[in-house]
Chains A and B, each alone.
Chain A
Amino acid sequence: MPDLLQLSGVSTHIGQYHILHGVDFSVAPNSLTMLLGRNGAGKTTSLRTIMGLWRASAGSVRFDQQDITRTPTPELARRGIAYVPENMGIFAGLTVRENMVLAAREGEPDEKRLEWIFALFPAMKKFWHGLAGNLSGGQKQMLAISRAIVEPRKLLLVDEPTKGLAPAIIQAMIEAFRELKRETTLLVVEQNFHFARSLGDAVAVMDSGRIVHRGRMAELAGDEALQQRLLGLSLDTHQ
């Protein structure tokens, strides 16, 4: 089966800064690919470039067999790519319901779909009519992910879903992502190696705007020396 997403030689400039230097990696359909790397490695820039929020200055991005390098962001969303940014991007002045309604582009969210989301994240049902700005950090992240999956998507881009979350919430997130893996393809940027190892099928590691490693997650999880070399961390400290 051909890859769902393919980046070939992607370079991205932000102002005068050259952030991505020929990034190459791909995401297989029905898989969860983890994009790892130290701070400033270019992970977020990669996601934003795929989503069209920053334009690639060279190289190409292909999605579902089509070149999307110059495709505007709204068009990408309509083609089935959902994006959960690092800051979650929830609309704080809108209610949870309004956030979800906005993401369901064809009208009111489907009832069955909502029940499925409520089963994943019960807090969404509890605070359905509450202001999104009043939710806790973990609940905001749940809302951001719920919003992204309110309609079936072909590809879900998620930027650091566990950032700043308590361990108990992270465990709930792991369970939710296991469920999400069953219905869609995911590309997840993550710093929490425990989370990445628990969920990832494939992995790409970035450093200084380049992909420095690609492979199966299980291989990286089983090779502590490789982790130390690529990520500068010891597995023990991140379990």
Chain B
Amino acid sequence: MRDWIPLALIPAVALLALPLVPSTPTWVTLTIAGLAMGMMIFIMASGLTLVFGLMDVMNFAHGAFISVGAYAGASVLLAMKAPMQSQSLVDNLGAIIPGVLAAMALAAALGWFFERVVVRPVYGDHLKQILVTMGGLIVCEQLIHVVWGPDLIALPRPATLTGSILLGDAAIERYRMLAVVVGLAVFFAMWLVLNRTRIGLLIRAGVENTEMVESLGYRVRRLFVGVFVAGSALAGLGGIMWAMYQESLTAGMGMQVLVVIFIVIIIGGLGSVGGCFVGALLVGLIANYIGYVAPKLALGSNILLMVLILLWRPRGLYPVGK
């Protein structure tokens, strides 16, 4: 991300919103909420943008990985009532860590299965990819109904992550602060892998020109399977975090959030992790500011943001040279 202008949009949007919000504490609360939402969207979207960048695969089934991850994680969390309700952070973590690992593991396994069975036969054909991955998403939703039932499941947050802390007069939800920290950790971990390892170098090169990477002697297909599975695991992580954020989960949650995820990866530039990060934060911030200032415009704010950014940079904030 050597181009700093898109990155500067994040503080610019935040500062522009300052005079529109009646008080500074409210602005701080909305900003943290927007950043937290953006981080969770980034976690869910980052894998999908790499999958598209590497192999031109339009994977609508990504929504299924989010839902299945959320349900797997929630199953563990709901089964561990005592540590979840304990006032000790250590006890809470004793439930959260297995829950998150379950979410990531099941989503990764589902991703591996999808790549082998659903996606592999339709490489290079976008129309078929949309049809079969959308079909896969619907099948997964129905399977969730079969296994976990069709009703909304309430998911209380762990005791130490409920409530807010006060920063001056601004109330900041603890869970949102955690989401920001986890999102930043995932971003920096991805940044390190992509920029400091040979695998990362291969992924970055593969996103630009798959054919040339193969011509240099590397099997991109193997790399792609790894990225697909890792992206699915991140979708699972994002899914359980989103479920705890909403304090509930439904089979359709993946499909609902998928629209925002596609907006984010288009805004960021297809295949760009940095663009995905900036795009997710912009979407999160604007959704929160507009939701507060002009709730009736909230639904269209993401679309408007996408239109404005594509008018400015038609290939997204950080276009990847394909």
Which residue numbers of A lie inside 8 Å of B, CB to CB? 51, 53, 72-74, 77-78, 82-83, 85, 89, 91-94, 98, 101-103, 105, 131, 133, 147
With A131-B2, A133-B321 known to touch, is A91 a contact of B205 (CB < 8 Å)?
yes
Number of A-B contacts (CB under 8 A): 62
- The range of chain B's interface size is 20 to 34
Shortest distance from the beta carbon of A191 to any chain B beta carbon, whole Å: 22
Residues in B neighbouring A85, C-beta threshold 8 A: 211-212, 215
CB-defined contacts of B58 to chain A, threshold 8 Å:
none
- A78 surroundings in chain B (CB, below 8 A): 217
- Which B residues are within 8 Å of any A CB, using their own CB? 2, 198, 201-202, 204-205, 208-209, 211-220, 320-321
Which residues from chain A contact B321 at a C-beta distance below 8 Å?
91-93, 133
Q: List 16 A-B contacts (CB under 8 A).
A: A53-B211, A53-B214, A77-B215, A78-B217, A89-B215, A91-B208, A92-B208, A92-B321, A93-B204, A93-B320, A94-B204, A94-B208, A98-B205, A101-B198, A102-B213, A103-B216
B205 in contact with A102 (CB, 8 Å): yes
**Among B201, B202, B212, residue most surrounded by chain A Cβ atoms (within 10 Å):** B212
A53 to B213, CA, bound (A): 12
B270 CB, min distance to chain A CBs, angstroms: 13
B201:A74 contact, CB within 8 angstroms: no
The complex places the Cα of A78 from the Cα of B320 at a distance, in Å, of 27
A-B contacts besides A89-B209, A102-B202, 12 pairs, CB < 8 Å: A72-B219, A73-B211, A74-B214, A83-B215, A91-B204, A92-B208, A93-B204, A94-B208, A102-B205, A105-B218, A133-B321, A147-B216
Tell me whether A73 and B214 are in contact in the complex, defined as CB-CB below 8 angstroms, given that A92-B321, A133-B321 are known contacts: yes
Q: When A102-B202, A133-B321 are in contact, do A91 and B217 touch as well, CB less than 8 Å?
A: no
| Nearest CB of chain B from residue A153's CB, rounded to whole Å | 11
CB distance from B276 to the nearest CB of A (A): 15
Q: Which residues of A contact B216 (CB under 8 A)?
A: 74, 77, 102-103, 105, 147
The reply to whether B212 and A89 form a contact with Cβ atoms under 8 Å apart is yes
